[in-house]
Structure 1
């Protein structure tokens, strides 16, 4: 007997490289797995012409509620999460591609409250974080004692506020740009440290202030981003992982992360009024 797939309507906010990837996958493969596009928004709507059907282009994000959505996917900028996050949650589940926004304690609390009030889920994609579910389980059991993450990339791959990297040269080698709390790091590199932000969500007892992060510029990393995670627990328990994510020069997001985001989207079926690492 044939089965009927219940279709989920997806709104995509942002049409950079990651947004384009998700939109293309939904348009090409979505029908077979029960995903359809409700809308696509980009700050520059002209960028959507010719690649997104006209009827799916949302020109004014404040009118998103006119499009019925089951899940809204933000892959744009933390400022969009700040401005629209609670409104999105009043209408749909939300997958936040810029979880660095949650380093703002007030916004973090407002989003959690909005999820609880609406009964909808605020999804945090793992992205380039390896072992996020294990970190969350250790945290939830009360055993997580420390978490450190180092992200190393070619300097062309960083998008930093201020002029921290304005003087880099190809022959300079390795330079530590920042080492400290993820809470302090997120405003410095909002587009680069979403992996750390996801880890801070998983490590809820430590939070953004207690999780330590380091970003490193390394001109030798022309083909990869490197993410190193060190977890410490009770007694002498510790885990260290090193993830090499293939990436082109100038790319903010490594290639393996695109597939990770797609897999996270497939998880967004509704997990109650809470924050959920996926």
Structure 2
């Protein structure tokens, strides 16, 4: 695979807000950073026409291997990770932008095995997670005892699979939607809790069942999302961080997370046969 000094060919799977941002950055700034665009795929390819050079549009995702990539970046939906993740890793490094998919223990194990088998890296971007590398270091040293994450957003920013939030009204204030393990949260809000999923990957000894999370609807949060992280270690050690991530009403992803994803992509230089928080 390519080294840090080589040009990396990037395939982008998904062309929502985050996909559009990454594609634009690669086309504009990528060459100076050693990145070039190999392909862009979107479920509705018509959305790409006129915005992405025609020769870079991939109509059929099943033919992704024809484009020869060093890194494939998924920024669309956990189902794509489930269906194509193993195939992506058989051909290239894979940055999973929907790490909530990894809450499925069978899929998690399958992708970890594929990473080892093919000597590719399964990259997990930190996204809105603050202190992810520190959490991972605590985990690796065996000192992490507990991890709790609370994500608070305006109700228009949540995309839930159930009917938990269908009755919200402006001015209702704060409502706790769910509290429990990240393993339970991911299927409920697969597009909203990728930060929690990244934390569960970082704290691998606790895992998705051991990391606890809470999602909160708050109609007062019209300009930003709030991510609170509390890490507990031995002998009374603890760290509590609060991150306010600017976001527009209805936005699933906070604006600061876009640049975080770009910086994560720049890290994807090839770390072979492992899961890597970037």
**TM-score normalised by length of structure 2:** 0.98
2:30 alignment partner in structure 1: 30
Deviations 1:205-261 (A, max 9, x none): 000000000000000000000000000000110000000000000000000000000
User: What is the Cα deviation at residue 5 of structure 1?
Assistant: 5.5
2:86 alignment partner in structure 1: 86
User: What is the Cα deviation at residue 6 of structure 1?
Assistant: 2.1
1:168 alignment partner in structure 2: 168
- 1:128 is aligned to 2:128: yes
SS at 1:166 equivalent: coil
**TM-score normalised by length of structure 1:** 0.98
Alignment partners' CA distance in 2, 1:169 and 1:33: 46
Residue ranges of structure 2 left out of the alignment (5+ in a row): none
Contact 1:5-1:33 at 8 Å conserved across structures: no
2:68 alignment partner in structure 1: 68
RMSD between superposed Cα atoms in Å: 0.9
Deviations 1:13-66 (A, max 9, x none): 000000000000000111112111000000000000111000000010001011
Alignment partners' CA distance in 1, 2:6 and 2:208: 37
Matches for 1:91-240 after TM superposition, within 5 Å: 91-240=91-240
Alignment partners' CA distance in 2, 1:65 and 1:124: 21
Contact 1:26-1:36 at 8 Å conserved across structures: yes
SS at 2:230 equivalent: strand
Residue ranges of structure 1 left out of the alignment (5+ in a row): none
Alignment partners' CA distance in 1, 2:21 and 2:88: 22
2:10 alignment partner in structure 1: 10
Contact 1:159-1:252 at 8 Å conserved across structures: yes
SS at 2:159 equivalent: coil
Alignment partners' CA distance in 2, 1:257 and 1:10: 19
Matches for 1:22-61 after TM superposition, within 5 Å: 22-61=22-61
Task: Count the aligned residue pairs.
Answer: 275
